[in-house]
Amino acid sequence: MIFVKSHGFSVPALGFGTFRMKGEECAKAVENALHVGFRHLDTAEIYDNETAVAQGIAAARIARRELFITTKAWMDDMSPAGLRKSLDASLKALQTDYVDLWLIHWPNPKFKIEVTLAAMQEEVDAGRVRALGVSNFPAVLFERAAKAAPILCNQVEYHPYLAQDKVIAAARKHDAFVMAYAPLGIGKVHDDAALAGIGAAYGKTAAQVALRWFVQRPGVGAIPKASSREHCAKNFDIFDFSLTDEEMKTIHGLARGERMIEPDFGPKWDT
């Protein structure tokens, strides 16, 4: 495993995403992921699958201390009372006393970020959360957050078709890492000829090449989701080869500004 480091934490650079999975499907996928070797799990209160994530962990019989669990508070719950309620619900569903990383899921201009982070920091002080982070924060807003509290990471959409140079630079400046969501372009990279071409020399698929590209860079990680055991195992099988500088550059060159997750309530990305 490769780790990303921030504020004294060492976090598995490759995590397992659980969005769009619920109930038994989610529990089984989490159990598979843990058997394959994943130790970093990504969920969110809004995914309505934290109970299933806990069931998957219980089935895999992995000790809590071996896991790095990230969850997220929804953007409407950014008041101190809303945050407390959201964390209560997440901890109950996840059947744990603490989460390793607690993220603001999307920025919400209705709430002052400094007030939100101060309330979140109280949960760190109370031992219910080990570290704080944000998600979907453009660089300028990220910098504002990082001045208000120690921020471990910014989780953003990031795949070979969407560059995130500004976001990465802002994170590095504040000792934070960037966690790539939708790292496989929601499955799209699977058919990429350039990635498949690079992978052929190593006996790896296009998706494996994309994941290797993330974890090979300092301060960057990725959380691919896979409901099938086959995909899940393949996604973890990326630690026995390295991409050359030239190949890394080629993958960087595939960026074409393609954003796949752009809800109405999302931020303006040109800042």
Q: Which residues bind ligand NAP (CB under 6 A)?
A: 17-19, 42, 105, 135-136, 155, 181-187, 190, 207, 223-228, 231, 234-235, 261
Name the residue whose CB lies closest to ligand NAP: 17
**Residue 243, helix vs strand vs coil:** coil
Spell out the residues 6+ positions from residue 74 whose beta carbon is closer than 8 angstroms to its own. Answer: 44, 45, 46, 86, 105, 106
Nearer to ligand NAP by C-beta: 128 or 225? Answer: 225
The CA-atom distances, in angstroms, between 13 and each of 4, 23, 176, 263 are: 5, 26, 13, 26
Q: Which is nearer to ligand NAP, 31 or 42 (CB)?
A: 42
Residue type, 192: D
Min dist. Cβ of residue 83 to ligand NAP (A): 17
Burial string for 199-238 (b: 16+ CB within 10 Å, else e) reads: beebebbbbbbbbbbbbbbebbbbbbbbeeeebbebbbbb
Q: Which is nearer to ligand NAP, 125 or 266 (CB)?
A: 266
**Do 267 and 138 form a contact (C-beta atoms < 8 A)?**
yes
Cβ 63 to ligand NAP, closest distance in Å? 22
So which residues are the catalytic ones? Answer: 47
Classify residue 153 by burial, with Cβ atoms within 10 Å: 0-12, 13-18, 19+.
Answer: buried
Judged by beta carbon, residue 217 or residue 234, the one nearer ligand NAP is 234
CB of 84 to ligand NAP, least distance (A): 21
Q: Provide the minimum distance between the beta carbon of 41 and ligand NAP in the complex, in angstroms, as a whole number.
A: 9
